[in-house]
C-alpha cells in the first residue's frame, strides 16, 4: 500500500506545500543567479530515472561555464553564492517540481548521469527500480564523500527494502545533515573519480558483452544463484555450503580485506547478470606462486568460451603480478573437459591426489596442475 499509493500521495502533498512555502525564496535565488551568472538561472542536465527512463533535471546554477579549451575543477568555477547554494542544498529546490510531476520522489537514490549507464553492475542497476529522490539513504550517510561502491550499495539497499519508517528516518536525518553542513565536498572529484572513469579502468572485456570486474558488496544478492547452483557445484573440488545473502556479504568482505586474494566477477553486461567469478588466491610473491580458481555458476553460459576467456585473463593478471612465476590449480579427475582446457592453455599435470575429497558420499581423486611463466605465451582472450 505504501509503495504503490501512499508514497506518491505524500510526494504530491509535500511538493505542493514546499513549493508554496519556498516559492518566494526561489524567486529571490533566481534573481541573484541571473545577476551573478549573466542571465543564467538553471543548470539543466539529462539524468536517469525509474526503470532507466531519461528525464531533464533542473537545479539552480552554481558554477560559471567552462572556458573554451579548458577543464577547470569545480572549485575554480564555483562562486561564493554557488557554494552557499550547494552547502545549504538550496540549489536543489527546483526539483520540487520534478517530485510534483512524478519524475522524482522526495526520498530515493539521487538521479545520476546518463553516461554512467554502461558501468552499473547487475545489482546496482536495481537502484533504478524506484524513482530517484531529492534525498536518500546515501545522502544521510556521507552525501558526496562516499566512494561509489558504498554509495550505490546504500541505493540498492533502499530500493529493495524501503518503507514508510525508513523514508521518515531519512527525511528527519536529511535536515540534520543539511543544517550541520557536514559530509560534503565542493568538488567530489577530489575524493573519488567520476563513476564512469573509475569503473572503465576496472573492467576487462573478455568476450562480447562479458566482462571481468571487481567484486562489490552489492554483488551478494546476484551471487546467490551462482554460488548455490547444484549443477555447477558438482564440478567443484569440495561441496560448498548453502549460502545466504548475509553469508555472501561476509564472504565478499573476507576476500576484499585479504591482500593475498584477488576475486573478479564475471558478468554478462547485455543481460545485466552475474554468471560467475574467477580468482587468484594465496598470492605469494616470495615463493612466486598463486592458486587459480573459477566458477561459472549458470549452466546456460557453459560451452560459450567464457571460462577459457576468463582463465586467460586471470593468467595474464597473475604473471603481470611482480614475483609470480607459477600458477597452481586443483581440478577433479572426473572433470575431463576442464582438464583438457587447462592443458591446452599450458597447464601441466603435477600430481594426482588419490581420494582427496568426498563428493556425494564418494571419494574422488584430484589433479594438481601448474603453469610456469615460461609456458605462458600471451594466450589470447
| Dihedral pair phi/psi, residue 43, rounded to 5° | -100, 120
| Dihedral pair phi/psi, residue 107, rounded to 5° | -115, 130
How buried is 188 (Cβ within 10 angstroms: 0-12 exposed, 13-18 middle, 19+ buried)? middle
Whether residue 182 is found in the same domain as residue 220: no
Q: What is the pLDDT of residues 321-376, one digit of tens each?
A: 999 999 999 999 999 999 999 999 999 988 898 887 877 778 889 999 999 986 55
Whether residue 264 is found in the same domain as residue 305: yes
pLDDT of residue 227: 93
Band the pLDDT of 203: cuts 50, 70, 90. very high
Q: Which three cell numbers stand for residue 354?
A: 588419490
Task: Decide if 356 is inside a domain.
Answer: yes
Instruction: Check whether 61 has a pLDDT greater than 80.
Output: yes
- Residue 17's domain spans which residues? 2-198
Closest-CA residue to 63 (of 93, 96, 38): 38
Task: Decide if 381 is inside a domain.
Answer: no
Closest-CA residue to 120 (of 206, 198, 224): 198
Instruction: Check whether 71 has a pLDDT greater than 80.
Output: no
Task: Tell which of 165, 198, 231 closes a domain.
Answer: 198
Q: Which of 22-26, 298-302, 376-380 has the lowest mean pLDDT?
A: 376-380
Which of 6-20, 59-73, 185-199: highest mean pLDDT? 6-20
Task: Decide if 70 is inside a domain.
Answer: yes
How buried is 275 (Cβ within 10 angstroms: 0-12 exposed, 13-18 middle, 19+ buried)? buried
Q: pLDDT above 70 covers what percent of the chain?
A: 94
Task: Tell which of 198, 213, 234 closes a domain.
Answer: 198
Task: Tell which of 144, 170, 198 closes a domain.
Answer: 198
DSSP SS3 for 285: coil
DSSP SS3 for 261: coil
Average confidence (pLDDT) over 140-167: 91
Task: Decide if 380 is inside a domain.
Answer: no
Alpha carbons within 13 A on the beta-carbon side of 183 = 18
Q: pLDDT above 90 covers what percent of the chain?
A: 74
Whether residue 108 is found in the same domain as residue 214: no
* Cα–Cα dist 184/177, whole Å: 9
Count structural domains, the chain: 2
Residue 273's CATH number: 3.40.630.30
Q: What is the pLDDT of residues 104-142, one digit of tens each?
A: 999 999 999 999 999 999 999 999 999 999 999 998 988
Whether residue 193 is found in the same domain as residue 206: no
What one-character DSSP code corresponds to residue 78? Answer: B
Whether residue 37 is found in the same domain as residue 133: yes
Average pLDDT of the chain, as a whole number: 90
Whether residue 145 is found in the same domain as residue 272: no
Closest-CA residue to 344 (of 374, 375, 303, 373): 375
The structure's pTM equals: 0.84
Whether residue 183 is found in the same domain as residue 54: yes
Whether residue 66 is found in the same domain as residue 171: yes
Instruction: Check whether 378 has a pLDDT greater than 60.
Output: no
Whether residue 242 is found in the same domain as residue 330: yes
Choose between 267 and 373: higher pLDDT: 267
pLDDT of residue 183: 53
Whether residue 137 is found in the same domain as residue 170: yes
DSSP readout, 20-58? HHHHHHHHHHHHHHHHHTTT--EEEEEEE-GGG-EEEEE
Instruction: Check whether 190 has a pLDDT greater than 50.
Output: no
Whether residue 178 is found in the same domain as residue 275: no
Whether residue 100 is found in the same domain as residue 209: no
Amino acid at each position: 500500500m505504501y509503495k504503490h499509493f501512499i508514497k506518491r500521495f505524500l510526494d504530491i502533498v509535500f511538493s505542493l506545500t514546499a513549493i508554496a512555502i519556498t516559492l518566494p525564496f526561489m524567486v529571490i535565488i533566481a534573481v541573484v543567479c541571473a545577476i551573478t551568472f549573466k542571465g543564467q538561472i538553471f543548470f539543466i542536465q539529462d539524468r536517469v530515472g525509474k526503470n532507466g527512463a531519461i528525464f531533464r533535471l533542473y537545479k539552480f546554477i552554481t558554477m560559471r561555464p567552462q572556458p573554451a579549451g579548458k577543464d577547470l575543477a569545480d572549485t575554480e568555477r564555483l562562486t561564493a553564492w554557488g557554494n552557499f547554494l550547494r552547502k545549504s542544498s538550496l540549489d536543489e529546490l527546483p526539483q520540487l517540481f520534478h517530485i510534483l510531476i512524478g519524475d522524482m520522489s522526495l526520498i530515493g537514490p539521487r538521479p545520476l548521469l546518463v553516461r554512467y549507464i554502461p558501468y552499473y553492475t547487475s545489482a546496482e542497476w536495481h537502484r533504478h527500480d524506484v524513482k530517484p529522490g531529492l534525498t536518500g539513504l546515501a545522502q544521510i550517510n556521507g552525501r558526496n564523500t562516499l566512494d561509489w561502491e558504498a554509495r550505490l550499495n546504500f541505493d540498492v539497499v533502499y530500493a529493495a527494502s524501503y518503507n514508510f519508517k525508513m523514508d521518515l528516518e531519512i527525511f528527519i536525518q536529511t535536515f540534520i545533515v543539511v543544517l550541520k553542513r557536514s559530509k560534503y565536498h565542493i568538488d567530489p572529484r577530489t575524493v573519488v573519480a567520476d563513476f564512469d572513469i573509475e569503473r572503465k579502468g576496472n573492467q576487462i572485456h573478455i568476450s562480447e558483452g562479458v566482462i571481468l570486474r571487481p567484486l562489490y558488496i552489492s554483488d551478494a544478492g546476484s551471487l546467490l544463484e551462482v554460488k548455490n547452483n547444484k549443477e555447477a557445484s558438482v564440478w567443484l573440488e569440495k561441496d560448498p555450503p548453502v549460502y545466504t545473502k548475509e553469508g555472501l556479504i561476509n564472504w565478499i568482505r573476507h576476500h576484499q580485506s585479504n591482500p593475498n586474494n584477488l576475486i573478479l566477477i564475471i558478468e554478462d553486461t547485455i543481460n545485466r547478470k552475474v554468471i560467475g567469478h574467477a580468482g587468484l588466491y594465496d598470492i605469494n610473491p616470495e615463493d612466486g606462486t598463486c592458486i587459480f580458481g573459477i566458477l561459472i555458476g549458470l549452466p546456460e553460459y557453459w560451452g560459450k568460451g567464457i571460462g577459457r576467456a576468463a582463465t586467460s585473463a586471470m593468467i595474464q593478471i597473475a604473471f603481470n603480478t611482480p614475483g609470480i612465476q607459477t600458477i597452481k590449480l586443483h581440478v577433479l579427475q572426473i572433470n575431463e573437459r576442464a582438464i583438457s582446457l587447462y592443458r591446452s592453455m599450458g597447464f601441466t599435470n603435477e600430481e594426482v591426489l588419490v581420494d582427496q575429497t568426498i563428493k556425494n558420499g564418494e571419494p574422488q581423486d584430484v589433479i594438481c596442475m601448474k603453469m610456469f611463466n615460461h609456458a605462458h605465451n600471451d594466450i589470447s582472450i
